[in-house]
Amino acid sequence: MRYLLAVALLTAFAARAEPGANYAPLSFLAGYCWMGTFPDGKQTDEHCFAWVYGGKFLRDQHTVRGNDRPDYLGESIYFWNSAAKQVEYLYIENDGGFSRGVVSAAANALVFPPTSYVEDGKTRTYRSRWQRVGDDAYDVVTEFQSGAAWVEGFKVRMVRRAGG
């Protein structure tokens, strides 16, 4: 029993450990789950972040629930590209779609510049900004490209879950 408790405590500590300066803008996310409700009030989005492989990567597993449909599952792996000297990510989801891009820090926010989401041979360009709101929340604004213009896709306030 003591062994299981020790493993559980070490696992929780490792998930929150900060691996280095390259990941500093993302480190507040690690070791926690964050949940938000979409503006329609019918769907929630939950992201759970954990360091993997000794802090060399940050995993974000997310689930969208609601709207009387099966859960939508996705996962991002954030990594330091030492050649390009930037944090990048690969996103995959359960319907077979994927995207990859970069993320940077600006004015207490994480900025995801335009990138493409690919699924079933179709491509959609999007961009996002995650603005911190204190220690326990961040606002997500995601926009999609429509011709030469950007249109709002959604806004969600993600709140750190208790005990997460």
How sure is the predictor about 163, in pLDDT bands with cuts at 50, 70 and 90?
low
Task: State yes or no: pLDDT of 23 exceeds 70.
Answer: yes
CA distance 127 to 141: 8
Confidence at residue 10, expressed as pLDDT on a 0 to 100 scale: 40
144 is in which domain, residue-wise? 2-160
Residue 10, exposed/middle/buried by CB under 10 A (0-12, 13-18, 19+)? exposed
Residue 33 has pLDDT above 50, yes or no: yes
Q: What is the pLDDT of residues 99-114, one digit of tens each?
A: 999 999 998 999 999 9
143 secondary structure, DSSP code? E
> Which alpha helices (H) appear in the chain, and where do they start and end?
2-16
Please state the rounded mean pLDDT for residues 60-89.
96
Over 80: is that where the pLDDT of 84 sits?
yes
The CATH number covering residue 96 comes to 2.40.128.20
Instruction: Indicate the SS3 state at residue 39.
Output: coil
- Half-sphere exposure of residue 61: CA atoms within 13 angstroms, side-chain side: 7
Average of per-residue pLDDT values in the chain: 89
Instruction: Please report the pLDDT score of residue 162 as a whole number.
Output: 75
Quote the pLDDT of residue 22: 92
The total domain count for the chain is 1
More confident residue, 153 or 8: 153
pLDDT score of 55 more than 80:
yes
Distances (CA, A) of 23 to 65, 71, 86, 93, 94: 29, 29, 9, 23, 26
The Cα 35–Cα 44 span in angstroms is 7
